[in-house]
A and B are shown apart, each in its own frame.
Chain A
Amino acid sequence: MNVNVRQRGDVTVLDLKGKITIGSGDVALRNAVQEVMNSGATKVLINMGDVSTIDSSGIGELVSAYTTATNRGAKLRLYSLPAKVTDILTITQLITVFDVYDNEDEAVRSFQ
């Protein structure tokens, strides 16, 4: 999986691309979130639009990212979820935990 980190105003956006699965993508996601948290980001968006596959380890990393951000007083939100990722979050009721938006503009506006 590739992670691209960019700024949109005071919002930090992580564009994820590929598989978030055990042993590779999950570690990349953990490191990327850790890095932006350590840099002091308080408004973080994860762009899920190009995520092709996510397994329970990837879901676990999303949950860890969410709790890490919340514990530090930051906000972490998701947008552009592919239908199958939405299904996976729904099955385990995590869709009720995350703030999820349809697109980037809507997600950025949610911080205002």
Chain B
Amino acid sequence: MPEEHRFHLDIGSRFENIELVQVVLRDSLERLGMEDDARHWIDLAVREALANAIKHGNEQNPSKQVHVDLAVEGEEVVIRIEDEGTGFDPTRLGDPLAPENLLRPNGRGIFYMKNFMDEIQYGAGPGGGTLVTLRKRLTGPKADSRQDSEEEGTE
């Protein structure tokens, strides 16, 4: 992989820093030749992951950082976002499509991430915080458009 496509950023826990990551991310994805649509959905997935890391992981503590890393592994672009919080159990999340949750103002971020990316994984980072890994194929049908939610499941 060409080195210029990689990046690593450490940002403070402020929402306005999401825009900074977006600028660098867009540039990298463009250089990788991703289509506009695919870039848009990756942008949104990364926004959701960053927002969760800042809000829920680091609880907007300005002394804590969010670590963002982009790489290409095989045929996939892989983005890892790690916070400095105390960890997170994604299995505790409710289904945003359940009738009782449909009109809730929150609880959709991870669901969107799963729909926009080919794969997302949650785990513990080396520092004990949450590490979310987002994967998207560089080529093929799913690189060019979002897949319907039915194909991705609703967990």
Chain A interface residues (CB < 8 Å from chain B): 21-24, 53, 55-57, 59-61, 63-64, 66-67, 84, 87-88, 91-94, 97
Contact = CB atoms under 8 A, between A and B. Distances in A.
B97 interface: yes
A97 B106 contact: no
B103 A22 contact: no
Interface size grouping (class) on chain B: 20 to 34
A67 B105 CA distance: 10
Contact of A92 (B14, B43, B111): B111
Interface stretch (B44-52, B65-73, B80-88): B44-52
The dominant DSSP class at the A interface is helix
Given A23-B16, A91-B149, A92-B96, A60 B103 contact: no
Nearest to A65: B105
A91 B96 CA distance: 10
> Taking each of A53, A55, A56, which has the highest tally of chain B beta carbons within 10 Å of its own beta carbon?
A56
B152 to A, nearest CB: 9
Contact of B106 (A23, A60, A88): A60
B105 A84 contact: no
Given A22-B51, A53-B44, A55-B44, A93 B112 contact: no
B20 interface: no
Given A53-B44, A84-B40, A60 B105 contact: yes
A84 B108 CA distance: 16
B102 interface: yes
A59 B47 CA distance: 13
A56 B112 contact: yes
Nearest to B150: A91
Given A53-B44, A55-B48, A91-B115, A67 B15 contact: no
A52 to B, nearest CB: 10
B44 A92 contact: no
> Taking each of A23, A61, A67, which has the highest tally of chain B beta carbons within 10 Å of its own beta carbon?
A23
A57 B51 contact: yes
B104 interface: yes
